[in-house]
Amino acid sequence: MRLELQNIRKSFGEKEVLKGISFSAESGRAFGLLGRNGAGKTTTIRILMNVFGADGGKILIDGKPIDYQKLRMGYLPEERGLYPKKKIIDQLLYFAELNGMKRQEAVRAIDYWLEKLEMTEYRNKRLDTLSKGNQQKIQLVTALAHNPDIVILDEPFSGLDPVNAMLLKDVVKEEISRGKIVLFSSHQMNYIEEFCNSIAILNGGAAAICGEIHEIKHNYVRDKLVVRSEHAAEIQKELGSCCTKKDTGELFVQLSSPAEKQQMMRRLTESYDIDEIKVFEPSLNDIFVEYAGDQN
């Protein structure tokens, strides 16, 4: 299954919030929708979920207009939306039935996910008796119990301790392996890099960059080296202003051109005891800072 958003536009009054957003995501892969607060991520998600319509553009599934009567979506919002005073099983059943499940089918699915997330003991408790992390896991059950085709996770790791984060990682990997489209929206770049094949970084209602993460990284000019050595001070003194030392102790060497990298590597390894030398590749965090930057 292939999901495509083509030139999605949206205005609220005179303010144009989305200025022609386009991207695509495929089954069995995770897609990261990134951007600073106010970049247009939430509006894009709400249009995708048919909370409200776009002013222009198309949403397609396998090249055809999306049919919301047939396509199932699961959504984990950043802001929690469950009822604190209600029993957990009652509201999980309520949401499952809202998503078209029959009661017996819903009970089986809910119990499966409660066990998977180590939450069975809380089945008959009120939500407000749970920690924030466990409330997050109950919210996740509402997103997954009805076996959605597209899973949208908005800041899914927020508030989770390392153990629960590991559980959620396993769930995400399982959903991807089952051929779901998983759409991430998060500011935690380490999780995006771990799960997502492709990203779109929104800035001021437009896609500043979109594509496969490895291609985006590879397209950066390869004119910097990263060097680790016990002789860092000597190397820095020899190379002068083109060599800077980072807080991590690594040296960054700015080359005059990418063609110089082999010569520089040879020069340094022949002159010094080098522990590591490699071409600098930007992290997703570096890319995010560059493209999310100032909002237009």
DSSP per-residue codes, 17-61: EEEEEEEEEETTEEEEEEE-TTSSHHHHHHHHTTSS--SEEEEEE
HSE toward the beta carbon, residue 214, CA cutoff 13 A = 3
Q: Which pLDDT band, with edges at 50, 70 and 90, does 249 fall under?
A: confident
Tens digits of per-residue pLDDT, 202-216? 999 999 999 999 999
5 in Cβ contact with 44 (< 8 Å): yes
What mean pLDDT comes out for the span 281-294?
87
pLDDT, position 295: 58
The reported pLDDT for the residue numbered 121 is 95
The average pLDDT across 45-72 equals 94
CA distances from 192 to 12, 58, 169 (A): 30, 26, 11
pTM: 0.84
Share of the chain above pLDDT 70, in %: 99
Which residues have CB under 8 Å from 243's CB, separation 6+?
235, 236, 251, 252, 253, 254
In tens, the pLDDT along 108-131 reads 999 999 999 999 999 999 999 998
The mean pLDDT of 27-33, rounded to a whole number, is 94
Percentage of the chain beyond pLDDT 90 is: 76
278: three-class secondary structure by DSSP: strand
